[in-house]
Structure 1
Amino acid sequence: MMRWYGGGMGPVGWIVMGLFWIALIAVIIWLVLRLLPSSGHAGPTPTSSPQVPGPESPIDILDRRFASGEIDLETDQAHRAALIAARGSR
């Protein structure tokens, strides 16, 4: 009858191998969660103002405020007319 050299892996070997695989899987899951965007990831929210390079024009600010519901249609139209009138008088 043939025997394996050394009698195979002992209980400590099985425990170490199991812990190695658990740690490896945990690291892979952590990397995937860390690298992929998710809803819990810190970043711009729908209610936050968008990051725009450079200064915004008054019309852009007015459009953003209207789109976010900060001002109503009548206020938007009144402010837009005032801005257009102010630009025309320059």
Structure 2
Amino acid sequence: MGLCLYMFYKRSMKLMGQLTTTSEDYKVLENMSKLISLEYLEIKDIVINISKNIKDLNQIFAAHQPNLNQITFTEEQVAAHEQATYRLNA
């Protein structure tokens, strides 16, 4: 009878250890999940800020597009005048 009780005692200790380990594993997973959730919230805020900045930059670029077109046109005219000058000098 003593060996039977000893076996049940050892078996129950083993099961308690396994349950404790499983419980601790779940606690670790829960903490990791909470931390990852916070990281995703931070990343979401960063992405929202980047998106806003890109929209702002696109608006600025659109506002300056006529000036950029004029600069390109002026550069083309200068290049054409430069070629004409080289031809005249030749």
Normalised by the size of structure 2, how large is the TM-score? Answer: 0.42
Q: Between Structure 1 and Structure 2, whose CA radius of gyration is higher? A: 2
Normalised by the size of structure 1, how large is the TM-score? Answer: 0.42
